[in-house]
Amino acid sequence: MSDSVHTDLALEAREALLHASPGEPDGIVFEEERIGSFQTLVSTVRVLTAAGEQSVGKPIGTYITLENPLLRQNVLEAHEEITDLLCQTLHRLFPLKKKDRVLIVGLGNADVTADALGPLCVSGLLVTRHLSGILPHELEGRLRSVCALAPGVMGQTGIETLEIIQGIQQKVGADAILLIDALAAGNTQRINATIQLTDTGVCPGSGIGNRRQALSPETLGVPVAAIGIPTVVDARTIIREAVPEAPTERLSSIDSLYVTPKDMDAVAKRLARILSDGLNRYLHALSPDEFRTYLY
């Protein structure tokens, strides 16, 4: 059994390397700062070289993490501030041209609470591709062409997610693709309290050892960004945090066991709303009140 950290977070992959060998790995640049009244910790990991890519196991690119324990609580003022920060971070990480057409894909299984973040987020998006030519004059030039789908997982469809997105992309001709996914963390404190954004795409299921075909700029032919929140942690991590001296061989029977909080159903809806609100503000030039008018 491998004793490596099961995680989708580049931040944690870097931390694991530092724990094993102090000193910043070659080809990696790291910076962090606290932002806003609620002191959200913003960490940036830049993988610059092939050596850095190999050491952290993440493709060359930028990984930005927003951490705040208030994400998992029902604190509306904090959520509003984090939503704005998410929007600003997206503009910085993944700038779009004014007329870029965007496809948003909510990855995951809507029937599994801990994996439903993507589909839940898609349901809160303001999609506009079908409105071309019929918008009221007051919205002209303020709405971007956006379409979205939640393709399910291969166990439901028998089709690789990459194949579905490639087929849709051939028809809609999006200029950029945004992926939303539930992730795995290697630290219980980051469950439902962390948002990772990257301009490299995603490899679905990699954090829990169920790697599917990569969804990336190389495989999809256009710029691809991914946004995710860790909703599960492997049981070994929980035991390691509680009993650091626990022998590795005694943990082999739970190597494939993953755990999610008991209130995940309610928290998932709240987190999905934060993501969809942040994406809507990033994509369209409307005020929060206008979004409420047209969405709810």
Ranking 14-23, 96-105, 226-235 by mean pLDDT, the lowest is 14-23
Query: What is the structure's pLDDT at 289?
Result: 81
Q: What is the pLDDT of residues 115-165, one digit of tens each?
A: 999 999 999 999 999 887 787 777 878 899 999 999 999 889 999 999 999
Is the pLDDT assigned to residue 106 strictly greater than 60?
A: yes
> In whole angstroms, what separates CA 106 from the centre of its chain?
10
Is 212 or 128 the better-scoring residue by pLDDT?
128
Domains in the chain (CATH in brackets) are 10-295 (3.40.50.1450)
Name the band, by pLDDT with cuts 50, 70 and 90, for residue 210.
low
Please tell me the pTM assigned to this model.
0.91
Average pLDDT, the chain: 90
